[in-house]
């Protein structure tokens, strides 16, 4: 998972340096709704294709580390390139509309709530949650089918849809999925946006601009001496470089993934093991109140963190490069 720059984000704007009075940021041309959908869909598909084997390992790690006796029913996983890409056909089908709706809903929600909430962090949290709900309409059935393919190596689409309750099955755990990825996405966006903002402010500080909101009279005493030396503004691009996008996206994703690992373990069990009908069944059968069950609730945290961080970073790279390809960013 990843996110994209928006018009309200200072890291995606240009500022003009003037010796007397700092100019207001000049916003770059922003993508329209269709472009957001196209970039998000393509970026999501490309990144999922790279990190899918890690997700397969994560799924099997969780299912094989359960403390209950039913784990013996899980077939032994045979590692091969083909087995690591089990379920990717499902991913390629669902990830396009999922990422498209995810990116659009996040950007539009942030645009809508920013002037209302008057708080950047609340805006990021709420927009991230809304984005996850819309994306979850596609990600939930994708996860159910994908994970079943990942650990049932002989399962086919015919087997999956032979039951009259197929639709109910593929949306099994939708509420649980939102309960897992909602906090993850909200926390991720808040951390990611703040990392970008911190980088931007430090960049401005090093460039000699400390506060855009200061009244121009604070600089009037210095303007007479310097105006004759600088008659033209010097443009400064503050758009982050790709290495910075990778670093900040990976950092935010890693922290968010580790914090929400117990929720992911519960979700995976509900969606893949028929013995569990709801998250409460998992909590009753393997109570987190018992210390012996704690390792189970953190099972798969390493591949999960690696999967989420690498997937998010790759999505960010693809997203930014696609922006350039379709000539959205004005360089």
Q: What percent of the chain has pLDDT over 70?
A: 72
CATH of range 35-69+79-204+240-325; options 2.60.40.1760, 1.50.40.10, 3.40.50.970, 3.30.70.1230: 1.50.40.10
What global pTM score does this model have? 0.68
Conformation bin of residue 177: beta by default, left when phi > 0, alpha when psi is -120 to 50:
alpha
Mean pLDDT, rounded, for 68-84? 64
| Structure confidence by residue, pLDDT tens digits, 99-148 | 889 888 998 999 999 999 989 999 999 999 999 999 999 998 888 888 87
| Structure confidence by residue, pLDDT tens digits, 202-245 | 878 776 655 444 444 444 444 444 444 444 444 444 567 888 88
pLDDT for 116 equals: 94
Mean pLDDT, rounded, for 286-297? 87
């Amino acid at each position: 998972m990843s996110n994209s720059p928006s018009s309200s984000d200072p890291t995606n704007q240009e500022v003009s340096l003037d010796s007397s009075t700092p100019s207001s940021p000049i916003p770059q041309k922003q993508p329209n709704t269709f472009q957001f959908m196209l970039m998000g869909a393509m970026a999501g598909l490309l990144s999922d294709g790279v990190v899918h084997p890690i997700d397969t390992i994560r799924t099997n790690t969780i299912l094989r580390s359960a403390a209950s006796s039913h784990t013996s029913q899980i077939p032994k996983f045979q590692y091969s390139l083909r087995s690591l890409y089990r379920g990717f056909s499902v991913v390629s089908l669902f990830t396009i509309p999922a990422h498209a709706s995810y990116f659009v809903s996040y950007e539009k929600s942030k645009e809508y709530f920013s002037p209302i909430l008057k708080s950047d962090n609340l805006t990021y949290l709420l927009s991230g949650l809304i984005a996850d709900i819309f994306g979850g309409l596609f990600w939930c059935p994708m996860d159910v089918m994908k994970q079943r393919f990942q650990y049932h190596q002989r399962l086919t689409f015919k087997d999956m849809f032979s039951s009259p309750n197929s639709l109910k099955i593929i949306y099994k755990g939708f509420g649980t999925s939102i309960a897992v990825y909602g906090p993850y996405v909200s926390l991720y966006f808040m951390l990611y946006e703040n990392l970008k903002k911190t980088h931007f402010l430090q960049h401005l500080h090093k460039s000699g601009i400390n506060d855009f909101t200061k009244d121009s009279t604070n600089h009037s005493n210095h303007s007479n001496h310097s105006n004759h030396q600088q008659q033209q503004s010097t443009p400064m691009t503050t758009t982050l470089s790709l290495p910075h996008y990778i670093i900040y996206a990976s950092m935010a994703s890693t922290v968010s993934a580790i914090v929400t690992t117990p929720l992911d373990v519960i979700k995976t069990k509900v969606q893949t093991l028929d013995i569990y009908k709801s998250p409460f069944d998992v909590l009753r059968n393997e109570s987190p109140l018992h210390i012996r069950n704690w390792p189970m609730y953190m099972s798969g945290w390493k591949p999960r963190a690696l999967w989420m961080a690498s997937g998010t970073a790759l999505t960010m790279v693809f997203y930014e490069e696609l922006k350039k390809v379709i000539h959205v960013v004005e360089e």
